[in-house]
Amino acid sequence: MYLYKAFGIHIASEVLIPQFINAENYQADVSIRFGLVEDVLRKDGRIERAVQKSDKEIAFYFEKTGSFLVRNGNEIVVEPDADAEDQLIRLPLIGIVMAGLLHQRGMFVLHASAISINSEAVVFLGWKGAGKSTTAATLYKRGHPMISDDIVAMDVAETAVPLIESSFPNFKLMPETAELILGDDPDSLSPVCTGIEKRFRPASDNFAREKQPLRAIYALEDGASLSTTLLKPQEAVSTLIANTYLARYGKQLLQNNHAMKNLLQCANIVNRIPVYRLERPRSFRLLEDLADLVESQCGVSSSVV
For residue 56, what pLDDT is reported? 87
Per-residue pLDDT tens digits for 98-142? 999 999 999 999 999 999 999 999 999 998 888 999 999 999 999
Tell me the range of 76-85, 149-158, 231-240 where mean pLDDT is highest. Answer: 231-240
For residue 40, what pLDDT is reported? 60
CA gap 149, 111 in Å, rounded = 9
| Position 14, amino acid | E
For residue 302, what pLDDT is reported? 54
Measuring CA to CA, which residue among 267, 291, 150, 155 is closest to residue 211?
155
What integer best gives the mean pLDDT of the chain? Answer: 90
pLDDT category at 42 given cuts 50, 70, 90 is low
CA gap 244, 187 in Å, rounded = 33
Residue 47 has pLDDT above 70, yes or no: no
pLDDT category at 303 given cuts 50, 70, 90 is very low
For residue 209, what pLDDT is reported? 93
| Residue 112 burial (C-beta neighbours within 10 Å; 0-12, 13-18, 19+) | buried
Residue 250 has pLDDT above 80, yes or no: no
Query: Taking the CA of residue 226 as centre, how many other CA atoms within 13 Å lie in the half-sphere pointing to its CB?
Result: 13
Per-residue pLDDT tens digits for 63-80? 889 999 999 999 999 999
For residue 46, what pLDDT is reported? 52
| H/E element, 11 | strand 9-13
For residue 43, what pLDDT is reported? 54
Averaged over 206-213, what is the pLDDT?
95
Q: Which residues pair with 33 in a beta bridge?
A: 77
3-class DSSP state for residue 5?
strand
CA gap 251, 127 in Å, rounded = 16
Per-residue pLDDT tens digits for 144-198? 999 999 999 999 986 789 999 999 999 999 999 999 999 999 999 999 988 889 9
| H/E element, 212 | strand 212-222
pLDDT category at 305 given cuts 50, 70, 90 is very low
Residue 223 has pLDDT above 70, yes or no: yes
Residue 295 has pLDDT above 60, yes or no: yes
Residue 220 has pLDDT above 90, yes or no: yes
Residue 230 has pLDDT above 80, yes or no: yes
pLDDT category at 24 given cuts 50, 70, 90 is confident
For residue 304, what pLDDT is reported? 45
Averaged over 256-275, what is the pLDDT?
90
The pTM (predicted TM-score) of the whole model is: 0.92
pLDDT category at 256 given cuts 50, 70, 90 is confident
Averaged over 48-55, what is the pLDDT?
72
